[in-house]
Amino acid sequence: MKNKIHWLFAFLPLTILARYLLPGHHILVFALAAASLIPLANLLSEATEQLASHTGHTLGALLNVTFGNAGELLVGFFALRAGLVQLVKSSLSGSILANILLFLGISMIAGGIKHKTLRFNSLAARTRATMLVLAAISLIFPAVYHYFGGRLPGSREADLSLEFAVILLITYCLGLLFTLHTHSALLSASKEDHSDHQPGWSAKKAMIVLAACSALIGWMSEILADSVEPAAKMLGLTELFVGIIIVAVAGNTAESVAAIRAARGDRMDLSVGISLGSSIQIALFVAPTLVILSHFVGPAPMNLVFTPVEVIAIIVAVAISGQIAADGESNWLEGVQLVAVYLMLAIMFFLLPAHL
């Protein structure tokens, strides 16, 4: 199977050639860029597993989502510079939904098929779920301000979003301190999750592969971001659907592959850490960072005001993930339920009109 996936690396040079030799064929460029992410995601997930064998599941999951979300941050930066603020915001909310519903659900299905019950550290999962609640709150308050006072003369909506961004970044850093230092022993992998998986790579090699894959994923994601808007118009898709479903899924392929592989190996602490951790990092680090960067690049500052339907969808997703994380156990049926919710949301976003 791995050898078959390795053949897909041929899409990388094809994507680059199509980008510069066939600039008008946006659908082709988009398809090639999306396909090129598959082998890169597979290699990144393998490097993550190797590194987790050296560092442990908690730090391994953090490194995975950090390298995986580097592409999301780069795509957001280039999109902001091009003035595609709405596409950036919808891809951020879509990434949160994809990680905690679609990818976590597929991971539970993949792991549940091989193992009747999948166990993980419930305290660590609840801690991440609580951080996701904070992320949901950070979306509610700017929306409330926007619809009740943000449209009045003298509104300081941009200032509010910037101040919220600083608070979220500080909270994220304190969360890392809690997870990796002060309470690391309590949040370590459950006893059932310790396997005999032995590292075949050195930690240095794994880090080099992670860095190289992240750089290539960022490059392919940039090409994908440049082609996705014209490709969507050719296909008759709305900007909201493209950002929240297509760009989000394509941009988070790397983390999803790693989470699925970990679940199949009965390492649900790593799998849950990647899925929930990625959503947390996007909400508390990537989004606030892009808000701050938008004051220096792009035509106008980006705010944290999302559409009501996005806010409601994230609240629902966070509530469901918290419910599943409460007992420290999962199975394939819970995975099916998560995927079902995501599919219903995807259908709703597809049918929504272009202007809400």
Q: Which fold has domain 2-351?
A: A middle domain of Talin 1 (1.20.1420)
- Selection from 145, 137, 342, 354 nearest residue 233 by Cα: 354
pLDDT over threshold 80, residue 135:
yes
pLDDT confidence band for 79 (50 / 70 / 90): confident
Question: Mean pLDDT across the chain, nearest whole number?
Answer: 82
Asked whether 143 and 297 are in contact (CB, 8 A), the reply is no
Q: State the Cα–Cα distance between residues 135 and 280, nearest whole angstrom.
A: 7
Tokens, residue 15: 């994507």
Most confident of 53-57, 63-67, 70-74, 200-204: 200-204
- pLDDT, residue 138, reads 85
Alpha-carbon dihedral 101, 265, 46, 74, rounded to 10 degrees? 10
pLDDT over threshold 80, residue 158:
no
- pLDDT, residue 110, reads 92
Of 11-25, 28-42, 61-75, 236-250, the range with the lowest mean pLDDT is: 61-75
- Tens-place pLDDT, residues 224-241: 777 877 888 888 888 888
For 329, phi then psi, to 5°, come to: -135, 150
pLDDT over threshold 70, residue 321:
yes
Q: State the Cα–Cα distance between residues 73 and 76, nearest whole angstrom.
A: 5
> Could you tell me the residue ranges of all domains in the chain?
2-351
pLDDT over threshold 60, residue 73:
yes
Q: State the Cα–Cα distance between residues 250 and 34, nearest whole angstrom.
A: 6
pLDDT confidence band for 188 (50 / 70 / 90): low
Question: Can you tell me the mean pLDDT for 181-193?
Answer: 60
pLDDT confidence band for 94 (50 / 70 / 90): very high
Asked whether 72 and 287 are in contact (CB, 8 A), the reply is no
More confident residue, 84 or 102: 102
- pLDDT, residue 106, reads 94
β-bridge pairing 329-330 and 118-119: antiparallel
More confident residue, 150 or 203: 203
pLDDT over threshold 80, residue 156:
no
- pLDDT, residue 346, reads 94
pLDDT over threshold 60, residue 198:
no
Question: Can you tell me the mean pLDDT for 78-90?
Answer: 83
- pLDDT, residue 192, reads 47
pLDDT over threshold 60, residue 102:
yes
- Three-class SS of residue 330? strand
- Tens-place pLDDT, residues 244-284: 988 888 777 766 877 888 888 888 888 888 888 888 888 89
Tokens, residue 311: 């806010």
pLDDT confidence band for 150 (50 / 70 / 90): low
- pLDDT, residue 257, reads 78
Single pTM value for the model = 0.82
Tokens 């419910």 locate to 323
- pLDDT, residue 225, reads 72
Asked whether 232 and 246 are in contact (CB, 8 A), the reply is yes
